[in-house]
Homo-oligomer: A and B are copies of this chain.
Amino acid sequence: MAEKLIVGISSSPRKNANTDFILKKALAAAEGVSAGIKTKAVFLREYDISPCSSCFACCNETAAKGGGNRPCLYYKDGMDEIYPLLKACSGLILASPVYFGSLNAQMKIFMDRTEGLLRYGMSRYANSLRYKVGAGLAVGGNRNAGQEFSLQQMHYFFHIHDMHVVGSGSVFRPGCYLGGGVTTHPLRGHDPKAAEEDELGIKSAEHTGKRVAYAVGMIRGI
């Protein structure tokens, strides 16, 4: 098949810690599926991104005049580097640590800033994610501590972008069906390397990466 890009986005504030590690595992597994799969990892902590101010300029015809090339008319910030990747990709894998049972605020700041990529968007970025493949990875301190809920929160985002949502695939039994589900604490507290020992979690992430690659290969026109 033609070359296809899968973008992975980590929202961990901690460099090279558990969430980054898990995302890399998923992307490597995706690349292993086919020579045509390319991946790109984005680490949100390296970008300055402001929370959406709910100005609605992105979907307002008048406001958009003269700014039709930009999905967000309010902020010029790190998102301007990320929008083109979202437009270019065929698959999107989000990876977040779980804080208080759901996605950390850093991931939600990113999500909220994609309003202009919906069909109501007035720029050429409208419908950037439509029909593409979405899947998630969630890294929780404890065992049943929000991994499922965080993955469902990602899925909600994907559905609003009208994507095809996939989980970890039926190949994988003992772990997490909705995507990659990782647990760190029971073994080693806040250790940024704890995920490396969570064999089940790593497998669930790798299977999720493969599943995205399969779907990217199966869906026409993305």
Contacts and interface: CB of A to CB of B under 8 A. Distances in A.
Contact of A221 (B169, B178, B218): B218
**How many identical chains are in the complex?**
4
A176 B142 contact: yes
Interface of A: 12-14, 51-54, 56, 97, 99-106, 108-109, 111-112, 114-115, 118-120, 127, 130-131, 141-149, 152-153, 155-157, 159-162, 164-167, 169-171, 173-178, 181, 183, 185-186, 190, 200, 204, 211, 214-215, 218-222
A109 B101 contact: no
A215 B131 CA distance: 8
20 contacts: A100-B112, A100-B114, A103-B108, A105-B108, A105-B111, A105-B112, A118-B170, A142-B175, A143-B176, A143-B183, A144-B148, A145-B176, A146-B148, A162-B166, A162-B167, A162-B170, A162-B171, A164-B165, A218-B221, A220-B220
A75 B57 CA distance: 32
A103 B52 CA distance: 12
B186 A200 contact: yes
Q: From A156, A157, A173, A174, name the one whose CB has the most chain B CB atoms within 10 angstroms.
A: A156
Nearest to A153: B102
B164 A164 contact: yes
Nearest to A126: B170
Given A144-B147, A162-B169, A181-B143, A157 B101 contact: yes
Given A52-B104, A102-B102, 11 more contacts: A51-B109, A54-B97, A100-B111, A101-B156, A101-B160, A101-B178, A102-B153, A143-B143, A144-B176, A159-B165, A174-B186
Given A156-B177, A171-B119, A104 B142 contact: no
